[in-house]
Chain A
Amino acid sequence: METREHIWAEAMRAERRGETAAYERLLGEIADALRRLIRGRLARLGLGVHETEDLVQEILIGLHIKRHSWDAGRPFLPWLYAIVRYKLADAARRLRREARYRCDITLDEWSALFAAPAEDFDRTLIDVDRHVDGLPTGQREVVRALAIDGASVRATAQKLGTSEGAVRMTLHRALQRLAAAADLERAEPIRGKA
Protein backbone atom coordinates (compact mmCIF):
# COMPACT_ATOMS: atom_id res chain seq x y z
CA MET A 1 0.00 0.00 0.00
CA GLU A 2 1.18 3.48 -0.88
CA THR A 3 1.40 5.56 2.27
CA ARG A 4 1.32 9.33 2.41
CA GLU A 5 4.97 9.26 3.47
CA HIS A 6 5.86 7.17 0.45
CA ILE A 7 3.91 9.29 -2.05
CA TRP A 8 5.24 12.60 -0.79
CA ALA A 9 8.82 11.40 -0.47
CA GLU A 10 8.62 10.17 -4.06
CA ALA A 11 7.27 13.58 -5.15
CA MET A 12 10.20 15.28 -3.40
CA ARG A 13 12.59 13.03 -5.31
CA ALA A 14 10.73 13.91 -8.50
CA GLU A 15 11.27 17.60 -7.68
CA ARG A 16 15.01 17.00 -7.61
CA ARG A 17 14.75 15.49 -11.07
CA GLY A 18 13.05 18.72 -12.15
CA GLU A 19 9.54 17.29 -12.51
CA THR A 20 7.39 20.39 -12.21
CA ALA A 21 3.99 18.66 -12.31
CA ALA A 22 4.80 16.22 -9.50
CA TYR A 23 6.16 19.03 -7.33
CA GLU A 24 3.13 21.22 -8.02
CA ARG A 25 0.80 18.39 -7.01
CA LEU A 26 2.82 17.82 -3.84
CA LEU A 27 2.65 21.51 -2.85
CA GLY A 28 -1.09 21.54 -3.53
CA GLU A 29 -1.68 18.52 -1.33
CA ILE A 30 0.46 19.95 1.44
CA ALA A 31 -1.45 23.25 1.18
CA ASP A 32 -4.75 21.40 1.62
CA ALA A 33 -3.46 19.54 4.65
CA LEU A 34 -2.14 22.79 6.14
CA ARG A 35 -5.49 24.52 5.58
CA ARG A 36 -7.27 21.76 7.49
CA LEU A 37 -4.71 21.97 10.26
CA ILE A 38 -4.54 25.74 10.60
CA ARG A 39 -8.17 26.72 10.02
CA GLY A 40 -9.48 25.24 13.25
CA ARG A 41 -6.64 26.60 15.28
CA LEU A 42 -6.81 30.12 13.89
CA ALA A 43 -10.57 30.24 14.32
CA ARG A 44 -10.02 29.50 17.98
CA LEU A 45 -7.63 32.44 18.12
CA GLY A 46 -10.35 34.59 16.51
CA LEU A 47 -8.57 34.97 13.18
CA GLY A 48 -10.03 34.62 9.74
CA VAL A 49 -9.56 32.59 6.60
CA HIS A 50 -7.34 35.28 5.14
CA GLU A 51 -4.70 34.76 7.83
CA THR A 52 -4.89 31.01 7.23
CA GLU A 53 -4.01 31.49 3.58
CA ASP A 54 -1.14 33.83 4.48
CA LEU A 55 0.26 31.25 6.85
CA VAL A 56 -0.14 28.41 4.33
CA GLN A 57 1.80 30.46 1.80
CA GLU A 58 4.50 31.28 4.32
CA ILE A 59 5.00 27.60 5.16
CA LEU A 60 5.06 26.60 1.48
CA ILE A 61 7.71 29.21 0.74
CA GLY A 62 9.79 28.09 3.72
CA LEU A 63 9.55 24.47 2.63
CA HIS A 64 10.50 25.45 -0.92
CA ILE A 65 13.53 27.51 0.09
CA LYS A 66 14.82 24.84 2.48
CA ARG A 67 13.90 21.77 0.41
CA HIS A 68 17.59 20.93 -0.07
CA SER A 69 17.83 20.23 3.67
CA TRP A 70 15.68 17.10 3.28
CA ASP A 71 17.89 14.04 3.09
CA ALA A 72 16.36 11.76 0.44
CA GLY A 73 17.40 8.74 2.48
CA ARG A 74 15.39 9.86 5.52
CA PRO A 75 11.61 10.03 6.13
CA PHE A 76 9.88 13.09 4.68
CA LEU A 77 6.99 13.59 7.10
CA PRO A 78 9.16 14.25 10.21
CA TRP A 79 11.09 16.80 8.16
CA LEU A 80 7.87 18.52 7.08
CA TYR A 81 6.49 18.34 10.62
CA ALA A 82 9.51 20.16 12.01
CA ILE A 83 9.17 22.94 9.44
CA VAL A 84 5.41 23.34 9.95
CA ARG A 85 5.83 23.43 13.70
CA TYR A 86 8.60 26.01 13.46
CA LYS A 87 6.59 28.27 11.16
CA LEU A 88 3.42 27.96 13.25
CA ALA A 89 5.29 28.85 16.43
CA ASP A 90 6.80 31.82 14.62
CA ALA A 91 3.37 32.98 13.42
CA ALA A 92 1.82 32.53 16.86
CA ARG A 93 4.56 34.66 18.39
CA ARG A 94 4.00 37.38 15.79
CA LEU A 95 0.22 37.32 16.24
CA ARG A 96 0.60 37.59 20.01
CA ARG A 97 2.90 40.55 19.56
CA GLU A 98 0.46 42.24 17.18
CA ALA A 99 -2.44 41.59 19.53
CA ARG A 100 -0.51 43.11 22.41
CA TYR A 101 0.35 46.12 20.27
CA ARG A 102 -3.27 46.62 19.26
CA CYS A 103 -4.42 46.36 22.87
CA ASP A 104 -1.78 48.72 24.18
CA ILE A 105 -3.62 52.03 24.58
CA THR A 106 -1.63 55.20 25.00
CA LEU A 107 -2.18 57.72 27.76
CA ASP A 108 -3.47 60.17 25.12
CA GLU A 109 -6.11 57.72 24.00
CA TRP A 110 -7.06 57.10 27.59
CA SER A 111 -7.45 60.82 28.27
CA ALA A 112 -9.32 61.40 25.01
CA LEU A 113 -11.79 58.74 26.08
CA PHE A 114 -13.06 61.03 28.82
CA ALA A 115 -12.43 64.41 27.20
CA ALA A 116 -14.56 63.75 24.09
CA PRO A 117 -18.35 63.34 24.15
CA ALA A 118 -19.23 59.70 24.50
CA GLU A 119 -19.77 58.26 21.04
CA ASP A 120 -18.98 54.85 19.70
CA PHE A 121 -16.92 56.03 16.75
CA ASP A 122 -16.03 52.68 15.21
CA ARG A 123 -19.57 51.43 15.44
CA THR A 124 -20.82 54.63 13.81
CA LEU A 125 -18.35 54.26 10.94
CA ILE A 126 -19.27 50.66 10.30
CA ASP A 127 -22.97 51.54 10.35
CA VAL A 128 -22.52 54.47 7.98
CA ASP A 129 -20.65 52.22 5.59
CA ARG A 130 -23.38 49.64 5.71
CA HIS A 131 -26.15 52.16 5.15
CA VAL A 132 -24.31 53.82 2.29
CA ASP A 133 -24.00 50.40 0.68
CA GLY A 134 -27.77 50.11 0.92
CA LEU A 135 -28.42 53.28 -1.14
CA PRO A 136 -29.41 53.19 -4.81
CA THR A 137 -26.42 53.34 -7.18
CA GLY A 138 -26.72 57.01 -8.14
CA GLN A 139 -27.05 58.23 -4.53
CA ARG A 140 -24.26 55.95 -3.39
CA GLU A 141 -21.85 57.39 -5.95
CA VAL A 142 -22.63 60.93 -4.90
CA VAL A 143 -22.28 60.23 -1.17
CA ARG A 144 -19.01 58.36 -1.67
CA ALA A 145 -17.53 61.12 -3.86
CA LEU A 146 -18.58 64.02 -1.60
CA ALA A 147 -18.51 62.65 1.93
CA ILE A 148 -15.93 59.89 1.80
CA ASP A 149 -13.50 60.92 -0.99
CA GLY A 150 -14.00 64.59 -0.14
CA ALA A 151 -14.48 65.79 -3.74
CA SER A 152 -16.18 69.11 -4.51
CA VAL A 153 -19.74 69.29 -5.82
CA ARG A 154 -18.48 70.63 -9.17
CA ALA A 155 -15.90 67.85 -9.62
CA THR A 156 -18.48 65.26 -8.71
CA ALA A 157 -20.97 66.68 -11.20
CA GLN A 158 -18.34 66.61 -13.92
CA LYS A 159 -17.32 63.07 -13.07
CA LEU A 160 -20.89 61.80 -13.12
CA GLY A 161 -21.79 63.88 -16.15
CA THR A 162 -24.65 65.86 -14.52
CA SER A 163 -25.25 69.37 -13.22
CA GLU A 164 -24.23 70.64 -9.78
CA GLY A 165 -27.89 71.08 -8.92
CA ALA A 166 -28.62 67.46 -9.67
CA VAL A 167 -25.72 66.36 -7.47
CA ARG A 168 -27.04 68.51 -4.59
CA MET A 169 -30.52 67.08 -5.07
CA THR A 170 -29.22 63.51 -5.07
CA LEU A 171 -27.16 64.17 -1.94
CA HIS A 172 -30.21 65.61 -0.21
CA ARG A 173 -32.27 62.51 -1.01
CA ALA A 174 -29.45 60.23 0.09
CA LEU A 175 -29.08 62.04 3.42
CA GLN A 176 -32.82 61.75 4.03
CA ARG A 177 -32.62 58.01 3.41
CA LEU A 178 -29.62 57.67 5.71
CA ALA A 179 -31.35 59.65 8.44
CA ALA A 180 -34.39 57.42 8.15
CA ALA A 181 -32.18 54.34 8.37
CA ALA A 182 -30.44 55.74 11.44
CA ASP A 183 -33.83 56.37 13.14
CA LEU A 184 -34.84 52.82 12.43
CA GLU A 185 -31.57 51.59 13.89
CA ARG A 186 -32.10 53.54 17.07
CA ALA A 187 -35.63 52.24 17.51
CA GLU A 188 -34.51 48.67 16.99
CA PRO A 189 -30.87 48.52 18.13
CA ILE A 190 -30.25 44.74 18.07
CA ARG A 191 -31.68 44.12 14.64
CA GLY A 192 -29.55 41.38 13.06
CA LYS A 193 -28.79 41.44 9.39
CA ALA A 194 -28.16 37.79 8.70
Chain B
Amino acid sequence: MSPASKTGHDETGRGETGRGETDRLIRHLAREAGTQRDRGAFSFDRMLFLVAALSLIVAVALTFLLFGIRADLLATMRSAPFQHKVACTLALACGGFLLVRDAARPGGTGRSLLVLLPGVVLLAFGGATDASGLSVMGQSGISVPICVGAIIVLSLPALAMTIGALRMGASTRPTVAGATAGLLAGALGAAAYTVACRNDGGLFVAIWYSAAILIVATLGAAIGRRALAW
Protein backbone atom coordinates (compact mmCIF):
# COMPACT_ATOMS: atom_id res chain seq x y z
CA MET B 1 0.00 0.00 0.00
CA SER B 2 2.46 2.59 1.18
CA PRO B 3 5.09 2.22 -1.60
CA ALA B 4 2.32 2.56 -4.18
CA SER B 5 0.94 5.76 -2.70
CA LYS B 6 4.47 7.10 -2.34
CA THR B 7 5.21 6.43 -6.01
CA GLY B 8 2.00 8.13 -7.02
CA HIS B 9 2.97 11.18 -5.06
CA ASP B 10 6.43 11.24 -6.63
CA GLU B 11 5.09 11.07 -10.13
CA THR B 12 2.74 13.96 -9.59
CA GLY B 13 5.75 15.94 -8.48
CA ARG B 14 7.80 14.92 -11.50
CA GLY B 15 4.81 15.56 -13.76
CA GLU B 16 4.84 19.20 -12.76
CA THR B 17 8.48 19.59 -13.70
CA GLY B 18 7.88 17.53 -16.85
CA ARG B 19 5.16 19.95 -17.86
CA GLY B 20 7.49 22.87 -17.31
CA GLU B 21 10.02 21.10 -19.51
CA THR B 22 7.39 20.72 -22.23
CA ASP B 23 6.59 24.43 -22.01
CA ARG B 24 10.29 25.22 -22.36
CA LEU B 25 10.50 22.91 -25.36
CA ILE B 26 7.50 24.64 -26.95
CA ARG B 27 9.10 28.07 -26.51
CA HIS B 28 12.30 26.72 -28.03
CA LEU B 29 10.49 25.19 -31.02
CA ALA B 30 8.36 28.31 -31.55
CA ARG B 31 11.51 30.36 -32.04
CA GLU B 32 12.14 28.33 -35.21
CA ALA B 33 8.85 29.45 -36.76
CA GLY B 34 9.10 30.27 -40.44
CA THR B 35 12.50 28.63 -40.95
CA GLN B 36 11.14 25.89 -43.23
CA ARG B 37 9.31 28.11 -45.71
CA ASP B 38 11.37 27.00 -48.66
CA ARG B 39 10.34 23.35 -48.33
CA GLY B 40 6.67 23.58 -49.20
CA ALA B 41 4.45 20.82 -50.48
CA PHE B 42 4.81 21.89 -54.07
CA SER B 43 8.57 21.68 -54.04
CA PHE B 44 8.40 18.18 -52.56
CA ASP B 45 6.26 16.93 -55.47
CA ARG B 46 8.57 18.59 -57.94
CA MET B 47 11.61 17.03 -56.28
CA LEU B 48 9.97 13.60 -56.34
CA PHE B 49 9.23 14.00 -60.03
CA LEU B 50 12.84 14.96 -60.73
CA VAL B 51 14.02 11.96 -58.71
CA ALA B 52 11.76 9.63 -60.72
CA ALA B 53 12.93 11.10 -64.05
CA LEU B 54 16.57 10.87 -62.98
CA SER B 55 16.01 7.29 -61.80
CA LEU B 56 14.71 6.31 -65.23
CA ILE B 57 17.68 7.95 -66.98
CA VAL B 58 20.14 6.21 -64.65
CA ALA B 59 18.38 2.87 -65.16
CA VAL B 60 18.47 3.18 -68.97
CA ALA B 61 22.14 4.21 -68.88
CA LEU B 62 22.88 1.24 -66.63
CA THR B 63 21.05 -1.07 -69.05
CA PHE B 64 23.23 0.08 -71.95
CA LEU B 65 26.28 -0.27 -69.76
CA LEU B 66 25.47 -3.82 -68.67
CA PHE B 67 23.91 -5.22 -71.85
CA GLY B 68 25.35 -2.99 -74.56
CA ILE B 69 23.35 -1.23 -77.25
CA ARG B 70 21.57 -3.61 -79.56
CA ALA B 71 22.32 -3.18 -83.24
CA ASP B 72 18.64 -3.51 -84.06
CA LEU B 73 17.56 -1.08 -81.35
CA LEU B 74 15.70 1.31 -83.64
CA ALA B 75 13.83 -1.50 -85.36
CA THR B 76 12.98 -3.02 -81.98
CA MET B 77 11.61 0.28 -80.74
CA ARG B 78 9.13 0.34 -83.60
CA SER B 79 7.85 -3.15 -82.81
CA ALA B 80 4.54 -3.70 -81.05
CA PRO B 81 5.86 -5.95 -78.23
CA PHE B 82 8.45 -3.34 -77.26
CA GLN B 83 5.87 -0.57 -77.19
CA HIS B 84 3.55 -2.75 -75.18
CA LYS B 85 6.27 -3.41 -72.60
CA VAL B 86 7.11 0.29 -72.33
CA ALA B 87 3.44 1.23 -71.98
CA CYS B 88 2.86 -1.36 -69.21
CA THR B 89 5.91 -0.41 -67.18
CA LEU B 90 5.47 3.34 -67.54
CA ALA B 91 1.78 3.06 -66.61
CA LEU B 92 2.83 1.14 -63.49
CA ALA B 93 5.50 3.75 -62.79
CA CYS B 94 2.90 6.55 -62.99
CA GLY B 95 0.69 4.72 -60.51
CA GLY B 96 3.69 4.06 -58.30
CA PHE B 97 4.63 7.74 -58.44
CA LEU B 98 1.18 8.77 -57.19
CA LEU B 99 1.37 6.21 -54.39
CA VAL B 100 4.83 7.38 -53.31
CA ARG B 101 3.69 11.01 -53.35
CA ASP B 102 0.77 10.09 -51.15
CA ALA B 103 2.86 7.99 -48.77
CA ALA B 104 5.20 10.91 -48.15
CA ARG B 105 2.51 12.89 -46.34
CA PRO B 106 0.81 12.19 -43.03
CA GLY B 107 -2.92 11.77 -43.53
CA GLY B 108 -2.57 11.54 -47.30
CA THR B 109 -5.60 11.27 -49.51
CA GLY B 110 -5.65 7.53 -48.92
CA ARG B 111 -5.11 6.93 -52.59
CA SER B 112 -6.00 3.35 -53.35
CA LEU B 113 -4.10 0.76 -55.31
CA LEU B 114 -6.53 1.50 -58.15
CA VAL B 115 -3.96 3.90 -59.60
CA LEU B 116 -1.98 0.79 -60.55
CA LEU B 117 -4.95 -0.56 -62.49
CA PRO B 118 -4.00 0.84 -65.94
CA GLY B 119 -0.55 -0.81 -65.80
CA VAL B 120 -1.90 -4.08 -64.42
CA VAL B 121 -4.67 -4.20 -67.03
CA LEU B 122 -2.17 -3.56 -69.83
CA LEU B 123 0.08 -6.34 -68.53
CA ALA B 124 -2.82 -8.76 -68.14
CA PHE B 125 -4.16 -7.87 -71.55
CA GLY B 126 -0.76 -8.59 -73.10
CA GLY B 127 -0.65 -11.91 -71.28
CA ALA B 128 -4.18 -12.93 -72.17
CA THR B 129 -3.91 -12.06 -75.86
CA ASP B 130 -0.46 -13.56 -76.21
CA ALA B 131 -0.53 -15.27 -79.60
CA SER B 132 3.21 -15.22 -80.20
CA GLY B 133 3.52 -18.90 -79.28
CA LEU B 134 6.70 -18.07 -77.35
CA SER B 135 7.52 -20.03 -74.22
CA VAL B 136 6.48 -18.68 -70.83
CA MET B 137 10.01 -19.43 -69.73
CA GLY B 138 11.53 -17.25 -72.45
CA GLN B 139 13.81 -18.03 -75.35
CA SER B 140 16.45 -19.89 -73.41
CA GLY B 141 16.79 -21.67 -70.11
CA ILE B 142 18.31 -18.66 -68.37
CA SER B 143 15.86 -16.06 -69.66
CA VAL B 144 13.85 -15.91 -66.46
CA PRO B 145 16.72 -15.44 -63.97
CA ILE B 146 18.42 -12.96 -66.34
CA CYS B 147 15.26 -10.93 -66.82
CA VAL B 148 14.15 -10.89 -63.18
CA GLY B 149 17.70 -10.35 -61.90
CA ALA B 150 18.34 -7.55 -64.39
CA ILE B 151 15.16 -5.67 -63.47
CA ILE B 152 16.01 -5.94 -59.77
CA VAL B 153 19.57 -4.70 -60.27
CA LEU B 154 18.45 -1.88 -62.59
CA SER B 155 15.89 -0.82 -59.98
CA LEU B 156 18.33 -0.45 -57.12
CA PRO B 157 19.58 3.08 -57.90
CA ALA B 158 15.97 4.20 -58.37
CA LEU B 159 15.00 2.54 -55.08
CA ALA B 160 17.81 4.27 -53.20
CA MET B 161 16.93 7.65 -54.69
CA THR B 162 13.19 7.27 -54.07
CA ILE B 163 13.69 6.26 -50.46
CA GLY B 164 16.08 9.20 -50.07
CA ALA B 165 13.34 11.49 -51.39
CA LEU B 166 10.77 9.92 -49.06
CA ARG B 167 12.99 10.61 -46.09
CA MET B 168 12.52 14.30 -46.77
CA GLY B 169 8.78 13.77 -46.50
CA ALA B 170 7.07 12.28 -43.47
CA SER B 171 5.79 8.74 -43.87
CA THR B 172 3.53 7.66 -41.06
CA ARG B 173 3.51 4.13 -42.50
CA PRO B 174 7.19 3.43 -43.21
CA THR B 175 6.70 -0.12 -44.46
CA VAL B 176 3.94 0.83 -46.88
CA ALA B 177 5.89 3.88 -48.03
CA GLY B 178 8.93 1.67 -48.67
CA ALA B 179 6.78 -0.74 -50.67
CA THR B 180 5.47 2.09 -52.86
CA ALA B 181 9.03 3.27 -53.42
CA GLY B 182 9.94 -0.28 -54.46
CA LEU B 183 6.98 -0.41 -56.80
CA LEU B 184 8.00 2.83 -58.51
CA ALA B 185 11.65 1.78 -58.68
CA GLY B 186 10.76 -1.69 -59.98
CA ALA B 187 8.52 -0.26 -62.70
CA LEU B 188 11.22 2.19 -63.75
CA GLY B 189 13.84 -0.58 -63.76
CA ALA B 190 11.53 -2.74 -65.88
CA ALA B 191 10.89 0.17 -68.27
CA ALA B 192 14.65 0.61 -68.69
CA TYR B 193 15.21 -3.11 -69.20
CA THR B 194 12.85 -3.14 -72.21
CA VAL B 195 15.65 -1.75 -74.41
CA ALA B 196 17.70 -4.88 -73.74
CA CYS B 197 14.96 -7.49 -73.33
CA ARG B 198 14.67 -10.03 -76.11
CA ASN B 199 11.67 -11.85 -74.76
CA ASP B 200 8.62 -10.48 -76.52
CA GLY B 201 6.04 -13.03 -75.41
CA GLY B 202 3.11 -11.27 -73.73
CA LEU B 203 2.72 -13.97 -71.09
CA PHE B 204 6.44 -13.93 -70.30
CA VAL B 205 6.28 -10.17 -69.70
CA ALA B 206 3.06 -10.36 -67.69
CA ILE B 207 4.49 -12.97 -65.34
CA TRP B 208 8.16 -12.19 -64.97
CA TYR B 209 8.10 -8.40 -65.14
CA SER B 210 5.39 -8.43 -62.46
CA ALA B 211 7.39 -10.86 -60.35
CA ALA B 212 10.51 -8.69 -60.55
CA ILE B 213 8.58 -5.53 -59.67
CA LEU B 214 6.94 -7.27 -56.70
CA ILE B 215 10.34 -8.44 -55.45
CA VAL B 216 11.65 -4.87 -55.59
CA ALA B 217 8.49 -3.67 -53.79
CA THR B 218 9.09 -6.24 -51.03
CA LEU B 219 12.70 -5.14 -50.77
CA GLY B 220 11.52 -1.54 -50.56
CA ALA B 221 9.12 -2.44 -47.76
CA ALA B 222 11.89 -4.14 -45.80
CA ILE B 223 14.22 -1.16 -46.22
CA GLY B 224 11.51 1.43 -45.66
CA ARG B 225 10.47 -0.13 -42.38
CA ARG B 226 13.73 1.05 -40.85
CA ALA B 227 14.96 3.79 -43.18
CA LEU B 228 11.71 5.74 -43.22
CA ALA B 229 10.96 5.64 -39.48
CA TRP B 230 11.41 8.94 -37.65
Stretch at the interface among B28-36, B115-123, B141-149: B28-36
Q: Is the CB of B170 within 8 A of A23?
A: no
Q: Once bound together, how far apart are the Cα atoms of A20 and B7, in whole Å?
A: 38
The tally of CB-CB contacts under 8 A between chains A and B is 135
With A71-B41, A126-B3 known as contacts, the answer to whether A83 contacts B15 (CB < 8 A) is no
- The 4 A-B residue pairs with the shortest CB-CB distance, nearest first, are A18-B34, A53-B18, A49-B15, A82-B106
Q: Is the CB of A78 within 8 A of B15?
A: no
By DSSP majority rule, is chain A's interface helix, strand, loop, or mixed? Answer: helix
> Within the complex, which residue of B15, B40, B41 is in contact with A48, where a contact is CB–CB below 8 Å?
B15
List of B residues within 8 angstroms of A28 by Cβ = 23, 26
Q: Is the CB of B22 within 8 A of A68?
A: no
List of B residues within 8 angstroms of A48 by Cβ = 7, 11, 14-15
B25 contacts the other chain (CB 8 A):
yes
Q: Once bound together, how far apart are the Cα atoms of A105 and B50, in whole Å?
A: 53
Q: Is the CB of A49 within 8 A of B11?
A: yes
Q: Once bound together, how far apart are the Cα atoms of A15 and B230, in whole Å?
A: 22
Q: Once bound together, how far apart are the Cα atoms of A19 and B108, in whole Å?
A: 26
The size bracket of the interface on B is 35 or more
B39 contacts the other chain (CB 8 A):
yes
Minimum C-beta distance from A63 to chain B (A): 9
Stretch at the interface among A54-62, A109-117, A136-144: A54-62
B78 contacts the other chain (CB 8 A):
no
A99 contacts the other chain (CB 8 A):
no
Q: Which residues of A contact B (CB under 8 A)?
A: 14-24, 27-28, 31, 48-50, 52-54, 56-57, 60-62, 64-75, 78-83, 85-86, 90, 123, 126, 130, 190-194
Minimum C-beta distance from A118 to chain B (A): 19
> Within the complex, which residue of B25, B33, B37, B40 is in contact with A20, where a contact is CB–CB below 8 Å?
B33
> Within the complex, which residue of A20, A71, A72, A90 is in contact with B105, where a contact is CB–CB below 8 Å?
A71
Q: Is the CB of B30 within 8 A of A24?
A: yes
B49 contacts the other chain (CB 8 A):
no
List of A residues within 8 angstroms of B229 by Cβ = 90
> Within the complex, which residue of A31, A73, A192 is in contact with B5, where a contact is CB–CB below 8 Å?
A192
Q: Is the CB of B22 within 8 A of A60?
A: yes
List of A residues within 8 angstroms of B107 by Cβ = 74-75, 78-83
Q: Is the CB of B34 within 8 A of A17?
A: yes
B79 contacts the other chain (CB 8 A):
no
Minimum C-beta distance from B107 to chain A (A): 4
